[in-house]
């Protein structure tokens, strides 16, 4: 596998469920990101990790819980979500958290909350 992979590609969950999104990067990068992309809205940065340490948490509700066990893997744990959380969740990686780095995105997980 090359690049950034995400699983599952599609997820439907009820408001009381607990699920996890998984991201893996095969690029040897040190930084990983979670973004949310809703219809008609720009990508919103949720979390930033650098060498497995969380660097940024952009006012994300606690029902979203990230985990970075190593620099290649990133998870987003979901619990008691709301219908308005339905969106495309994108994972990305970059060489590091410095300036100018291009970000490499995965294909995303399309999440539907019923």
Q: Which stretch binds other proteins (CB under 8 A): 11-19, 67-75, 77-85, 92-100?
A: 92-100
DSSP structural state of residue 107: -
Q: Please say which residue, 20 or 95, places its beta carbon nearer to other proteins.
A: 95
Q: Would you say 86 or 103 has its CB closer to other proteins?
A: 103
* Distance in angstroms (rounded) separating the CA atoms of residues 104 and 101: 10
* 76 and 65 Cβ atoms separated by less than 8 Å: yes
Binding site for other proteins (CB under 8 A): 4, 31, 40-43, 45, 48, 50, 55-56, 90, 92, 97-108
């Amino acid at each position: 596998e090359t690049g950034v992979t995400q699983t599952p590609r599609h997820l439907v969950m009820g408001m009381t469920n607990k699920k996890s999104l998984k991201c893996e990067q095969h690029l040897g990068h040190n930084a990983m990101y979670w973004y949310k992309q809703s219809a008609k809205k720009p990508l919103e940065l949720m979390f930033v990790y650098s060498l497995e340490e969380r660097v940024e948490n952009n006012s994300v509700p606690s029902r979203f819980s990230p985990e970075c066990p190593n620099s290649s893997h990133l998870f987003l744990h979901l619990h008691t979500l709301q219908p308005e959380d339905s969106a495309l969740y994108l994972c990305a990686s970059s060489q590091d958290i410095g300036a100018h780095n291009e970000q490499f995105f995965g294909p995303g997980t399309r999440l539907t909350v019923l």
